[in-house]
């Protein structure tokens, strides 16, 4: 299973919005609605912030939103805050398997 494609880095100023893309194929991202997004701060375990393309676990601010179109999923973070600076990973089911994206480093300027 090939890794999903994410931009290596994105940046934005506090209060702005940023979008991180996650591109796969019709076998993974495009084939169902089981796409998750994880936030990982340095030295910490990943934390789920979006699951099933656009659902937010309880406790995750509504500044985080997810969507999908065709073989690509997107994570949008609005009203950027300093604490949003982290690595972000998408993840998709591929039949019985899972595959992660390569990760995107978000810098809050």
Partner 1 sequence: QVQLVQSGSELKKPGASVIVSCKTSGYTFTNYAMNWVRQAPGQGLEWMAWINTNTGQPTYAQGFTGRFVFSLDTSVNTAYLQISSLKAEDTAVYYCAREAVGGFDHWGQGTLVSVSS
64 binds partner 1 (CB under 8 A): no
Tell me the window of 13-21, 24-32, 39-47, 68-76 that interacts with partner 1 (CB under 8 A).
Answer: 39-47
Tell me the window of 21-29, 34-42, 62-70, 74-82 that interacts with partner 1 (CB under 8 A).
Answer: 34-42
41 binds partner 1 (CB under 8 A): no
**Cα 107 from Cα 70, distance rounded (Å):** 27
Minimum distance of partner 1 from residue 63's CB (angstroms): 20
Question: Which of 74-107 are b and which e, b meaning 16 or more Cβ less than 10 Å from the residue's Cβ?
Answer: bbebeebeeebbbbbbbbbbbeeeebbbebbbbe
59 binds partner 1 (CB under 8 A): no
Distances in Å between the Cα of 59 and the Cα atoms of 31, 43, 64, 72 are 28, 21, 11, 26
The residues of the shown chain that bind partner 1, judged by CB under 8 A, are 1, 3, 34, 36, 38, 40, 45-48, 51-52, 55, 57, 87, 89, 91, 96-103
């Amino acid at each position: 299973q090939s890794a999903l494609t994410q931009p290596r880095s994105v940046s934005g100023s506090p209060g702005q919005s940023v979008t991180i893309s996650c591109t796969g194929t019709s076998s993974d991202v495009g084939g169902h609605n089981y796409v998750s997004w994880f936030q990982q701060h340095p030295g910490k375990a990943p934390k789920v912030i979006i699951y099933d393309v656009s659902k937010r676990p309880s406790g995750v601010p509504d500044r985080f939103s997810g969507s999908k179109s065709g073989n690509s999923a997107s994570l949008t973070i609005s009203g950027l805050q300093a604490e949003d600076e982290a690595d972000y990973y998408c993840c998709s089911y591929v039949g019985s398997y899972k595959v992660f994206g390569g990760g995107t480093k978000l810098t809050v300027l």
